[in-house]
Amino acid sequence: MSLVLQNNIFKVSITDYDPDGNLTSDKNKNITSILYNHLNMPTKITVTGSNAGTLDYVYTADGIKLQ
């Protein structure tokens, strides 16, 4: 948790990280979870709120994003 100044207003930034330092959630941006593969690249991002849904990413074996 950290304190962020935005437009002269302090907001509490609530973010979570895994042991590898990857962002796993960001409550301020309605990101409820981010899953990573063995290369620490995001494979699924789940969002709530007005833009609710999931983003799925697929990579080649050498880490090139396909979709």
Q: What is the DSSP letter of 49?
A: G
Q: Is 34 helix (H, G, I), strand (E, B) or coil?
A: strand
Distances (CA, A) of 49 to 13, 17, 20: 17, 21, 27
Who's near 45: CB < 8 A, 6+ residues apart?
Answer: 31, 33, 34, 35, 54, 55, 57
pTM: 0.76
Average pLDDT over residues 54-67: 92
The burial of 12, by beta-carbon neighbours within 10 Å (0-12 exposed, 13-18 middle, 19 or more buried), is given as exposed
33 vs 5, residue with greater confidence: 33
Domains in the chain: boundaries: 2-56
Average pLDDT over residues 19-35: 94
